[in-house]
Amino acid sequence: METIREAIKQKLAGFWTNVDSRIDTLLAVRDPIAFREAELEMHGLNRDLADEIMGSILMHVVADPSFQANASLAARQGGKFRHGGAREVDVTLLGGKQVRVKVEYVKPNRRGARPGRRRKVGKRGKGGAGFYPVLSALGIWFGVTPALGGEVCTQVADSDSVRAGRAALERRGIGLGHKRTLRIVNKYGGRAVEQRDQWLQRTRDDPPSRGVLHRKRVVIGTDGGRVRERLPNLRGRRLANGHRRYEAPWREPKLLTIYVIGNDGTIEDSFQPVYDGTLGDADPVFDMLTGYLKALGIHEASQLIIVGDGARWIWDRADKLAERLGLSAEKVTQVIDWCHAVGVLHEIADVPVTWPEKDKQKWIRRAKDRLHAGKIDDLVAHIDSLAVGRRAKAISEHRDYFARNAKRMQYAAFEAAHIPTGSGAIESAVRRIVNMRMKSNGMFWLEVNAERMLLLRSYLKSGYLDTLVDWSLAAAVPWWQAQMPSHVPSSPLDLRKAA
């Protein structure tokens, strides 16, 4: 212990010597450019000092023979892994510096398996890849510390491209290169997606437990966005660079949001909203909603409000969602977004092409009055007055929209009960999570990478990304759970913060 203390003291002494040699130059600063450069230089020195200290601590910790033995023994329990010898590995710290440590490696135990064709380079086989137990116990995966891994995911998810995320990292002295940056994000995101799916499956299967929604008015919403998927084209001639052209059809990622409102209908800041999404169809996103709501304790909520536009895929599943959650009909309120409903009225009014604008606006005002009052039968009759002649078919299609959603359009009653009548929360989520990051011109996504980015960006925008990273790192080493402190999150949501 004294050895590491002395090593750190020497690094601090070297830092002071370095600063002391610059003091005269720093005190001579008299212009903004020089002061900015001086401040950046000092921050760089502090970053280097932090990396040197943490590098010394890391080397000291992994060199502990007791820690090595316990971690290795725990990782090899069950016989799935066996010793793979000691190896040297480079670890990149938060400030961008690298430290080389020599630690034990364990590899899949394939002894006794039927011998087959020797695997090619980079092909892991059914047993998967090996790992370093000591480093894994500390959350060090893919050659980076947990703080750096989380920061890379944050910067790339928060920026409009990998290049912009790399630029933000490089301004802090962290130069990882494009391929390595992308690899870290994909590895972290891919593992988190698998872990989240497994966690949601468990919450759906397990009986409900006490959560943070006790006596809360809960609002949920779901909607779709648009991204371009990159599909390989295995036919056709190759281009000059040897690649084939690829197809890029539009896909509709579906997002969800969960938030809480007070008795006056305003959003409660005490509950941190939840966002998530998937490139799957309607059923997967409702499965996700079921898992999240059960984990949060929706059975103890005073009310569940489902808000959305008029998409059939939402409302065809709303009743089944309430049934799966064990909620009575009295607890659930379904609301069609007011603006979407009014938009349909404008579409109807646009059908008679020769209609004077004054008459059109008068018809819309009367229709909106009936809609707001919840007099859907009168509104349908008002619409039927236009359904004559050749325009009857076009108008009748819109008429059915109001007829089948009458109970979801009682806007005067909703406002009196302080129930939200707009889906702005999920519309905003689609814009911030999908449109501002994944829908740029010339941006095409492999499905697996789009799923990873949806998860990272959803948790980033809801404020849960740090919790997701901590939970994912802890969940990646189940054999080390007994050594984990009590404050390690048990789910990707920080339920204590949400409460």
The rounded distance, in Å, linking the Cα atoms of 58 and 383 is 73
Q: Encode pLDDT of 346-405 as tens digits.
A: 999 998 888 899 999 999 999 999 999 999 999 999 998 888 777 788 888 888 899 999
Model pLDDT, residue 20: 93
Q: What single DSSP character describes residue 252? A: -
- Mean of all residue pLDDT scores within the chain: 91
Strand-pairing partners, residue 91, are 99
Confidence of residue 192 (pLDDT cuts 50, 70, 90): very high
The rounded distance, in Å, linking the Cα atoms of 144 and 159 is 20
Model pLDDT, residue 479: 93
Name the nearest CA neighbour of 461 among 150, 147, 154, 161. 154
Name the nearest CA neighbour of 367 among 376, 357, 358, 356. 376
Q: Encode pLDDT of 217-237 as tens digits.
A: 999 999 999 999 988 776 767
What average pLDDT does range 475-495 have in this prediction? 86
Q: Encode pLDDT of 97-136 as tens digits.
A: 999 999 999 998 876 555 555 656 555 554 457 899 999 9
Token pair, residue 138, equals 């500390």
Confidence (pTM): 0.91
Model pLDDT, residue 212: 92
Percentage of the chain with pLDDT > 70? 94
Name the nearest CA neighbour of 422 among 325, 362, 341, 302. 341
Token pair, residue 97, equals 């510096």
DSSP-assigned letters across all residues of 41-103: HHHHHHHHHHHHHHHHHHHHHHT-HHHHHHHHHHHTTTSSEEEEEEEEEEEE-TTS-EEEEEE
Q: What single DSSP character describes residue 418? A: T
Q: Which of 56-65, 230-239, 294-303, 419-428 has the lowest mean pLDDT?
A: 230-239
Q: Looking at the predicted structure, is the pLDDT value of residue 407 above 90?
A: yes
CATH number of 207-337+422-462: 3.30.420
The rounded distance, in Å, linking the Cα atoms of 378 and 370 is 7
Model pLDDT, residue 127: 44
Q: β-strand 303-308 against 231-232: which pairing, if any?
A: unpaired
What average pLDDT does range 238-249 have in this prediction? 77
What average pLDDT does range 441-467 have in this prediction? 95
Q: How many residues does the chain have?
A: 499
In the chain, what are the domain boundaries?
2-62, 72-110+127-196+464-498, 207-337+422-462, 339-409
Token pair, residue 143, equals 């050659």
Model pLDDT, residue 382: 92
Q: CB-based contacts of 409: which residues, under 8 Å, 6+ apart?
A: 336, 341, 371, 374, 376, 402
Strand-pairing partners, residue 256, are 222, 276
Model pLDDT, residue 332: 97
Model pLDDT, residue 385: 86
Model pLDDT, residue 122: 54
**C-alpha distances in angstroms, 110 versus 55, 118, 129?**
35, 13, 12
